[in-house]
Amino acid sequence: MVEQGEIGPAEVLTVRLTPRGKSVSATDLGRVEIAKELESSADPATRAAKAKKKKRRAEKKAIAVDAPKEQVEALRAWRLAEARKRRVPAFRIMTDRALYGIASEHPTSPTELIAVPGVGPKLAEKYGLEIIALLTPNEP
């Protein structure tokens, strides 16, 4: 494909083969070596971007595990109601990352809320008091 000009030499291709395809292509070792060469010569920026994305996924999972389920569900219900009221997708109100972060950190002030990953000054200003009230148990 490189020789034919369909792709550039820096592009990486991923090919998934069925078991039958593997048995057929295993006889042509030259092509297998070329595929390995293309894969190993991946652009460093692409590798770095993939590593960063993988790290973010792992962090998100770690935060999700630490977050109390009741608070996550309460925040999700609030976010969905707010999204419907404003006629926007729920992630436009608050991302999952921010939602899990808030549930796990349990902020009690707007300053603590801004310190949560994924929460910025705009979100804290617009919804901060409402979110804090939602997380604070009602006292008799």
Question: Domains of the chain: which residue ranges?
Answer: 1-42, 55-135
Q: Which residues contact 87 (CB under 8 A, 6 or more apart)?
A: none
- Checking if the pLDDT of 48 tops 90, the result is no
pLDDT band at 40 (very low <50, low <70, confident <90, very high): low
Tell me the pLDDT of the chain averaged across its residues: 78
Q: Any idea which fold 55-135 has? A: DNA polymerase; domain 1 (1.10.150)
pLDDT tens for 64-116 read 567 788 999 999 999 999 999 999 999 999 998 899 999 988 899 989 999 99
pTM of the entire predicted model = 0.55
Closest to 92 measured CA to CA, from 101, 105, 79: 79
pLDDT recorded at residue 56: 76
The encoded tokens of residue 126 equal 């617009």
- Checking if the pLDDT of 22 tops 80, the result is no
Q: Which residues contact 125 (CB under 8 A, 6 or more apart)?
A: 110
Alpha helices in the chain (DSSP H): 19-25, 29-40, 44-66, 69-86, 90-93, 96-105, 110-114, 121-135
